[in-house]
Amino acid sequence: MSAPMLEVEALTLRFRTPSGLVNVLDNVGFTLQAGETLGLVGESGSGKSVTALALAGLLDAQAQVQVQARRLRFQGRDLLNSQGEPDAAAWQGVRGRRIGFVFQSPRRALHPLRTIGDQLQQVLQVHRGLKAAPARQEALAWIERVGLSDPARRFKAYAHELSGGQCQRVMIALALAGEPELLIADEPTTGLDVSTQALVLDLIAELASARRLAMLLITHDLALAAQRCARIAVMHAGQLVETLPSARLREGAAHIYTRQLLRATPQSASTLDALRSVDGTLPDLTRVDLPACRFAERCEKSDARCRSQAAPWTRMGAQHALACWHPVLETQRVGLR
């Protein structure tokens, strides 16, 4: 296999707050190959968005956050300084140009006082080096490509004149107009109505496959991630616990947390499954005595070792690995879903 497009190793992230340190990300690591789609899944508050922000190099400038990693490379390019922190200079030319981002709340992400066309045109001039007139033509083409009618009129529109779904289409155009090789989309459809969600996800999938774009799709919705991505990474309280191919999820998930998330994921909206949720709550990340496995206190199998010693990553099969001292074995999965 060729060198991965994105390599993340031992990423840690903490916030300094008046009530103490918040230990958000702990030893997060994963890789992404060119053209691959990976779904990053976890409950709300588990650290998915800060992972995206750290990968965008958008947290490095804030004094109240400490980001460190053992390795952070994109297309072979080192994005860390000698202290293992994200390097602002190395990020120039990568963010926006080679990695495109779509964040939640598209309306807030768009500039309120500049037209849609103006914002698109600027991306095309900055990231693609186009002159004003061709950038304008290309901006119109992008407005059309993301399925907005009457491009000339939309070009002159402001964010407040568009619906949430239309704003998200504009965000997708902005993220992809620089022709990136990786798209990081953080809950790109949360807050949109169900039919618009599907249309926006179809649009992302269509544009991504036409461009052989790699994608990190971040969502709290395991079913959605499994449907849209080839591989899933499950995050619990700032720790990755299991990565596996989506096709193996139902039969092969070996981490108890992944299995609980699966059980809490309705197979159809009409079943009673929709009422189930994962037992317990995420641990308080400001605690100084967080267990080594942050799932230990919610886990029926945990013991003293789980609380004191982080489990190493264990390979379970092709592209399947987990960090757990007590994986659910194949024989024990009979009778479970």
Ligand X SMILES: Nc1ncnc2c1ncn2[C@@H]1O[C@H](COP(=O)(O)OP(=O)(O)O)[C@@H](O)[C@H]1O
Q: How far apart are CB 58 and ligand X at their closest, in Å?
A: 11
User: What's the Cα-to-Cα distance from 44 to each of 32, 41, 191, 228, 282, rounded to whole Å?
Assistant: 23, 9, 14, 19, 9
Phi and psi, residue 152, nearest 5°: -60, -35
Q: In angstroms, what is the minimal distance from the CB of 76 to ligand X? A: 27
Instruction: Give the total of residues touching Mg ion (CB under 5 A).
Output: 2
Ramachandran region of residue 212, left (φ > 0), alpha (ψ -120 to 50) or beta? left
Partner whose footprint covers residue 309, from Mg ion, ligand X, none (CB < 5 to 8 Å by kind): none
Q: How many CB atoms neighbour CB 160 within 10 A?
A: 10
51 or 246: whose CB is closer to ligand X? 51
**Residue 205 CB, nearest distance to ligand X (Å)?**
22
Q: How far is the CB of 288 from ligand X (least distance, A)?
A: 15
**What's the CA dihedral at 97, 180, 238, 293 to 10 degrees?**
-130
Report if residue 105 touches Mg ion, rule: CB under 5 A.
no
Nearer to Mg ion, 105 or 314 (CB): 105
Minimum CB distance to ligand X, residue 220 (Å): 7
- Interaction pattern, residues 24-63, with Mg ion; x per rule: CB under 5 A: ------------------------xx--------------
How far is 6 from 34, CA to CA, in rounded Å? 8
Q: Which residue is nearest to ligand X (CB)?
A: 49
Q: Which is nearer to ligand X, 22 or 146 (CB)?
A: 22
CB 11 within 8 A of CB 65: no
Q: Which residues bind ligand X (CB under 6 A)?
A: 15, 17, 22, 24, 42, 44-50, 285
Give the separation between CA 327 and CA 324, rounded to whole angstroms. 6
Residues lying near Mg ion in the complex (CB under 5 A) are found at 48-49
